[in-house]
Amino acid sequence: MLPQFGTAVRKKGLNKPAATELGGGAPDKASVDAAWLVLEAANDLGDHAAIEACRRVIDAELNGTAARGSDVELVVGYFR
């Protein structure tokens, strides 16, 4: 079973990473749009690490929090 993300996590308050894990700020619109595209491709390829990174970037945008820098880097550089 896959971990919950999005509104389910927001309601329960489970998605609060430690301050040391956070990037510089909330993800910008381009990285969130890229996260949705990468999530679709990663699902097709069975790339579980990329799926989780995309979910964390999307969650951060939905919650108005900062995404991990490493997650944003993975998403932005996925198709390169």
Structure tokens at 71: 């997650």
| Mean of all residue pLDDT scores within the chain | 78
Number of residues assigned to the chain: 80
Question: 24: closest CA among 58, 79, 71, 63?
Answer: 71
Q: For 36-57, what is each residue's pLDDT tens digit?
A: 999 999 999 999 999 999 999 9
Helix, strand, coil percentages for the chain (3-state, nearest 5): 60, 0, 40
Question: Residue 28: what pLDDT?
Answer: 76
Q: Over 60: is that where the pLDDT of 25 sits?
A: no
- Tell me the C-alpha distance between 50 and 37, whole Å: 11
Q: Over 60: is that where the pLDDT of 30 sits?
A: yes
